[in-house]
C-alpha cells in the first residue's frame, strides 16, 4: 500500500522586502535636508543655530544616542532570547504565562511608585525654593543606572546560577523595561534644558531614538544568534555574558554624564508656597489641564496595543498549523518601524509641514483599522505580515510625535511621572487580559486585539480634541 507524503512548507519573507525597507530608509534620511523648508544646510541633525552651539548639541545628542542604543540592545537581547531560553530549560507554557503576569504586576507597581516619587521629589525641591531642573536630572540618571544595574544583576545571576529563579528574573527584567520606557526620554529633555539648548532641538532626537532603538533590537537578534552558535547547550550562557558587558558599558556612560558647560543658566530661585506646590504637582490637580490627560491616554493605548501585538503576533501567524520563519519576520517588523520613524521629520519640516495633532489623528485611525482587520478577518501569512509591517511603520511615526507633544504640553519636571502614570492603566489592562486568557480561557485572541483597536480609535478622538483646544504652552506653569 502506498503512503501519501504530505509536504509542509515554511513561509519565508521575500528578500526584496528587506532591500525595499533599507533603500527607503536611506532615501528618506538622505533626501530630507533638500526638502526641508528651514534654513538648515547641514542636514536633519543640525537644528541649533550657530556653529558652536550646533557642535555642542551634536556631541550631546550623539552621546545620548549611544547610551540609548546600548540600553536598547540589552532590552532586545532578553526579548529575542528569553522565551527560547525558557523552553530550553523545560519551562511550560503555563509557567511562562505566570512569569509574564508577575512581570506586569511588577511593572504596574513601579509605574505607581515612580509617579509618587516624582511628586514627592518636586515637593521637596520647591519647598526649599529651588528650581529643580538641574537637580531633577540626577533623579533620571539614577533611574537609568538602576535600569543598567537590573540587567547586570540578571546577567550575573544567570551566569553563575545553573537554575535561576524564573519569577525573580521576570520581576527584574519587567522593572527594567518599565524604567526604560520613561527614564531615558525624561533624562534627555531635562539634560537638554540643563545644557541650555532650545526645546525645538529635541524633535530630531526623538525620531532618532525610535530609529536607533529599532536598529538596536535587530542587532540584538543578530548578536543572540551569533553567541548561541551551533552548540546551544554549551553557549546558552553567552547572551548573559553579553548583557553583563553591555550593562557595565552603559553604567560607565551614564555615570560620566555630560561634561559640557551649560550655555545658559536655568537654575532660578522662586518663592513658592505649599498651595502653589500642590496646585502644580498633585496629580488630582492635573485634571483641569485636559491636554495632559489626552496625551496620557494616547500613550497608554499605544503601549497597550504594542504589548498585545508582541504577545499575539506569533500565534496569529502560525494559527491552524501554518509554519513561518518567525526569526526573519521579526527584523521586517522592526525595519518597518525604522522607516516609519524617518517619516516624522518629513511631516515636521518637509514640504507638507503638517501639524503634529493632524498626523496623529490619521495615524491612530490607520492603526485601529489594521488591528481590526487582523482581529476579524482570516488572512494568509503574506497579508498578515504586510499588515504587521504597516502597523509598526505607523508606530514608528507615532512614538516621536507623542514625545514632541509632551514637550509642548508637559513640564519637564513632570514628564517622567506623567509617562509612568499613563503606563499604569495599560499594564493593568494587559495583566487582566493575560489572566482571563491564560488561566480562565474566557477571552479570545481576536477580542484582545479588538479591545486594542477600540483604544486606538479613541486615541484618534483624543488627538482631535487636543487639536481643537489648541496649544497651551507650559513655559509659564510656575507662575500659576
Query: How do residues 381-424 score in pLDDT, each as one tens digit?
Result: 899 999 999 999 999 999 999 999 999 888 877 788 888 888 99
Can you give the pLDDT at residue 276?
43
Q: Is the pLDDT of residue 320 over 60?
A: yes
In a domain, 131, yes or no: yes
CATH of the domain at 79: 1.20.1250.20
**pLDDT range class, residue 306, cuts 50, 70, 90:** very high
**pLDDT range class, residue 287, cuts 50, 70, 90:** very low
Can you give the pLDDT at residue 206?
94
* 15-29, 90-104, 269-283, 348-362: segment of lowest average pLDDT: 269-283
CA distances from 305 to 79, 298, 308, 313, 433 (A): 17, 11, 5, 11, 12
Q: Is the pLDDT of residue 247 over 50?
A: yes
Question: How many whole angstroms separate alpha carbon 437 and alpha carbon 154?
Answer: 28
Q: Residue written as cell 488572512?
A: 379
More confident: 277 or 125 = 125
Q: Is the pLDDT of residue 299 over 80?
A: yes
Q: Residue written as cell 546560577?
A: 161
In a domain, 30, yes or no: no
In a domain, 67, yes or no: yes
Task: Output DSSP code: residue 269.
Answer: B
Domain range enclosing 187: 56-262+272-470
Q: Is the pLDDT of residue 56 over 80?
A: yes
Question: How many whole angstroms separate alpha carbon 96 and alpha carbon 121?
Answer: 37
Can you give the pLDDT at residue 474?
47
- Enumerate residues 6+ apart whose C-beta is below 8 A from 3: none
Question: How many whole angstroms separate alpha carbon 466 and alpha carbon 411?
Answer: 17
Question: How many whole angstroms separate alpha carbon 162 and alpha carbon 159?
Answer: 8
More confident: 271 or 101 = 101
DSSP string, 98-149: HHHHHHHHHHHHHHHHHHHHHHHHHHHHHHTTB--HHHHHHHHHHHHHHHHH
In a domain, 452, yes or no: yes
Question: How many whole angstroms separate alpha carbon 116 and alpha carbon 291?
Answer: 21
Residue 160 burial (10 A CB sphere; 0-12, 13-18, 19+): exposed
**pLDDT range class, residue 34, cuts 50, 70, 90:** low
User: How far is the first Cα of the chain from the last one, in angstroms, to the nearest whole number?
Assistant: 89
In a domain, 475, yes or no: no
**Residues present in the chain in total:** 480
Q: Which of 115-129, 155-169, 431-445 ranks highest by mean pLDDT? A: 431-445
Helix axes 381-409, 202-228, angle to 10 degrees: 140
Report CA 174 to chain centroid distance, whole Å: 13
**pLDDT range class, residue 138, cuts 50, 70, 90:** low
- Enumerate residues 6+ apart whose C-beta is below 8 A from 388: 309, 313, 329, 332, 333, 336
Can you give the pLDDT at residue 142?
85
**pLDDT range class, residue 162, cuts 50, 70, 90:** low
Q: Is the pLDDT of residue 44 over 80?
A: no
The pLDDT tens digits of the residues spanning 64-97 come to 999 999 999 999 988 887 777 777 777 788 888 8
Can you give the pLDDT at residue 230?
60
More confident: 436 or 36 = 436
In a domain, 37, yes or no: no
Q: Is the pLDDT of residue 470 over 80?
A: no
Q: Name which of 239, 255, 63 is nearest 151 in CA terms.
A: 239
Structural contact between residues 342 and 207, judged by C-beta atoms closer than 8 angstroms? yes
**pLDDT range class, residue 283, cuts 50, 70, 90:** very low
Number of domains in the chain: 1
In a domain, 477, yes or no: no
* 22-26, 317-321, 339-343, 348-352: segment of lowest average pLDDT: 348-352
In a domain, 255, yes or no: yes
Q: Residue written as cell 506646590?
A: 277
* 231-235, 243-247, 443-447: segment of lowest average pLDDT: 231-235
Can you give the pLDDT at residue 124?
57
Question: How many whole angstroms separate alpha carbon 419 and alpha carbon 48?
Answer: 27
> Mean per-residue pLDDT for 239-251?
91
User: What is the percent of the chain with per-residue pLDDT over 90, rounded to a whole number?
Assistant: 35
Q: Is the pLDDT of residue 251 over 70?
A: yes
The pLDDT tens digits of the residues spanning 173-187 come to 989 998 999 889 988
Helix axes 326-349, 290-317, angle to 10 degrees: 150
> What is the CB neighbour count within 10 angstroms for residue 385?
23
- Enumerate residues 6+ apart whose C-beta is below 8 A from 301: 364, 426, 452, 455, 456, 458, 459
The pLDDT tens digits of the residues spanning 419-464 come to 888 899 999 999 999 999 888 888 898 899 999 999 999 999 999 9
**pLDDT range class, residue 4, cuts 50, 70, 90:** very low
Mean pLDDT of the chain: 80
> Mean per-residue pLDDT for 219-237?
75
Q: Is the pLDDT of residue 153 over 60?
A: yes
Helix axes 290-317, 356-376, angle to 10 degrees: 30
Bridge partners, residue 269, by sequence? 130
> Mean per-residue pLDDT for 305-318?
91
Can you give the pLDDT at residue 272?
40
Q: Is the pLDDT of residue 337 over 50?
A: yes
Amino acid at each position: 500500500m502506498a503512503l501519501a507524503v504530505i509536504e509542509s512548507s515554511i513561509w519565508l519573507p521575500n528578500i526584496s522586502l528587506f532591500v525595499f525597507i533599507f533603500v527607503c530608509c536611506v532615501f528618506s534620511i538622505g533626501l530630507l535636508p533638500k526638502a526641508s523648508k528651514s534654513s538648515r544646510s547641514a542636514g536633519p541633525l543640525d537644528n541649533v543655530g550657530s556653529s558652536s552651539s550646533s557642535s555642542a548639541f551634536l556631541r550631546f545628542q550623539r552621546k545620548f544616542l549611544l547610551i540609548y542604543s546600548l540600553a536598547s540592545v540589552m532590552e532586545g537581547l532578553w526579548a529575542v532570547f528569553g522565551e527560547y531560553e525558557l523552553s530550553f530549560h523545560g519551562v511550560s507554557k503555563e509557567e511562562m504565562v505566570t512569569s509574564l503576569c508577575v512581570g506586569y504586576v511588577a511593572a504596574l507597581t513601579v509605574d505607581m511608585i515612580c509617579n509618587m516619587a516624582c511628586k514627592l521629589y518636586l515637593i521637596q525641591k520647591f519647598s526649599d525654593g529651588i528650581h529643580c531642573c538641574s537637580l531633577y536630572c540626577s533623579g533620571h540618571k539614577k533611574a537609568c543606572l538602576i535600569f543598567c544595574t537590573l540587567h547586570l544583576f540578571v546577567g550575573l545571576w544567570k551566569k553563575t546560577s545553573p537554575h535561576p529563579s524564573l519569577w525573580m528574573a521576570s520581576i527584574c527584567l519587567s522593572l527594567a523595561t518599565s524604567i526604560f520606557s520613561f527614564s531615558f526620554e525624561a533624562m534627555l529633555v531635562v539634560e537638554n534644558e540643563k545644557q541650555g539648548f532650545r526645546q525645538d532641538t529635541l524633535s530630531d532626537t526623538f525620531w532618532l531614538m525610535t530609529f536607533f532603538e529599532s536598529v538596536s533590537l535587530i542587532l540584538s537578534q543578530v548578536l543572540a544568534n551569533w553567541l548561541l552558535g551551533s552548540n546551544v547547550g554549551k553557549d546558552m550562557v553567552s547572551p548573559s555574558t553579553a548583557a553583563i558587558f553591555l550593562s557595565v558599558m552603559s553604567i560607565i556612560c551614564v555615570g560620566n554624564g555630560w561634561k559640557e558647560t551649560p550655555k545658559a543658566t536655568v537654575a532660578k530661585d522662586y518663592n513658592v508656597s505649599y498651595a502653589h506646590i500642590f496646585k502644580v504637582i498633585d496629580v488630582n490637580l492635573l485634571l483641569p489641564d485636559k491636554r495632559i490627560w489626552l496625551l496620557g491616554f494616547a500613550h497608554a493605548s499605544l503601549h497597550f496595543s504594542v504589548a498585545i501585538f508582541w504577545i499575539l503576533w506569533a500565534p496569529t501567524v502560525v494559527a491552524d498549523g501554518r509554519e513561518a520563519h518567525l526569526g526573519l519576520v521579526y527584523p521586517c517588523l522592526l525595519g518597518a518601524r525604522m522607516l516609519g520613524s524617518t517619516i516624522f521629520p518629513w511631516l515636521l519640516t518637509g514640504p507638507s509641514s503638517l501639524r503634529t495633532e493632524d498626523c496623529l489623528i490619521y495615524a491612530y485611525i490607520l492603526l485601529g483599522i489594521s488591528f481590526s482587520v487582523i482581529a476579524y478577518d482570516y488572512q494568509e501569512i503574506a497579508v498578515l505580515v504586510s499588515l504587521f509591517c504597516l502597523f509598526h511603520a505607523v508606530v514608528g511615526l507615532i512614538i516621536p510625535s507623542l514625545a514632541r507633544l509632551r514637550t509642548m504640553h508637559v513640564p519637564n519636571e513632570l514628564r517622567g511621572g506623567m509617562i509612568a502614570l499613563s503606563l499604569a492603566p495599560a499594564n493593568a489592562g494587559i495583566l487582566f487580559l493575560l489572566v482571563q486568557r491564560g488561566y480562565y480561557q474566557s477571552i479570545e485572541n481576536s477580542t484582545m486585539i479588538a479591545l486594542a483597536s477600540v483604544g486606538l480609535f479613541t486615541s484618534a478622538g483624543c488627538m482631535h480634541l487636543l487639536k481643537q483646544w489648541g496649544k497651551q504652552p507650559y513655559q509659564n506653569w510656575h507662575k500659576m
